[in-house]
Structure 1
Amino acid sequence: MESHPSFPVLSPFIARYPRASSSLFQAYNDIVYAQQWNDVEVVDVPSCLRGAIKGKKRGTQETLYVVPCSLSETVSFAWLQDAFKELFQKESVEPDASGTTTIPSIYLAITSQDASIVYYKLSQGIVKPAV
């Protein structure tokens, strides 16, 4: 792992949160190298004992957050609420210039030992899906 090109970026989080390190490593590399997101950085989410990934999908300007976890972990509603609080503490939910309000959401990147990743988009409250 130390010889991988992403290790210098991830090493502070791998050292700080060793139990979540493999999920972070797998999700980060998928986002950077396979999906080729832009402006990718790792942000600290200490209440969830892990780093999260912040970036923009290729061809978009919307900043998205990905919180990696393992398939074998137990994720509670309190844990998810903590993630939302930490990731969106500085962002307000105000209408933009067109009058559209963006509901904060995170992507939960669930990783498994066979290198599969499933992404679930989670929003706070009840949110009507786009039609």
Structure 2
Amino acid sequence: MESHPSYKSLSEILPRYPQTAGSIFQTFNDITLAQQWTDVEVIDLPVISRCVFRGRRPKLNPLLYVVPCSLSESLSISWFDEAFDNLGKPDQVYLAINTPDSSIVYYKITPGIVKPPV
């Protein structure tokens, strides 16, 4: 991991969260290299024991938030509440679920209960 070119951007945050370092590293590489997000910032959120990424998808103006995690983690409603509160209560965040084979699935998470369109 240390020899990868993107490690420099994450070198300060990864040692703080060794249990989620793989998810953080994989998500950062996916959004910056594969999806080519711009203006990507690393936001340290010790209250949820990891960092969050803020940036823009190509050709879209709004800032979006991505929270990396692994498939094996158990996350609670209160964990999500803490994340939303500490991010300034955005309308939504994307949960980047990393699998052992390096696949990532993104889920859009919104606060509260939202009725799906019928």
- C-alpha deviation, 1:4, in angstroms: 0.8
**Mapped partners of 2:13, 2:51: distance in 1:** 6
Please tell me whether the aligned partners of residues 88 and 104 of structure 1 are also in contact (alpha carbons under 8 angstroms): no
* Structure label with greater radius of gyration: 1
**For residue 118 of structure 1, what is the aligned residue in structure 2?**
105
Matches within 5 A, 1:12-31: 12-31=12-31
Code of the residue aligned with 2:78 in structure 1: it is A
**Mapped partners of 1:34, 1:128: distance in 2:** 32
Aligned length: 118
- C-alpha deviation, 1:16, in angstroms: 0.6
- C-alpha deviation, 1:130, in angstroms: 6.8
**Mapped partners of 1:74, 1:41: distance in 2:** 25
Give the TM-score, by structure 2 length: 0.94
Deviations 1:86-127, CA, capped at 9 Å, x for gaps: 1125xxxxxxxxxxxxx6100000001100101000001133
**Mapped partners of 2:36, 2:117: distance in 1:** 25
Tell me which stretches of 4 or more aligned residues in structure 1 moved more than 4 Å. 128-131
Deviations 1:19-50, CA, capped at 9 Å, x for gaps: 11000000000000000001011111111100
Secondary structure, counterpart of 1:15 in structure 2 = helix
Unaligned runs of 5+ in 1: 90-102
Unaligned runs of 5+ in 2: none
**Mapped partners of 1:27, 1:74: distance in 2:** 18
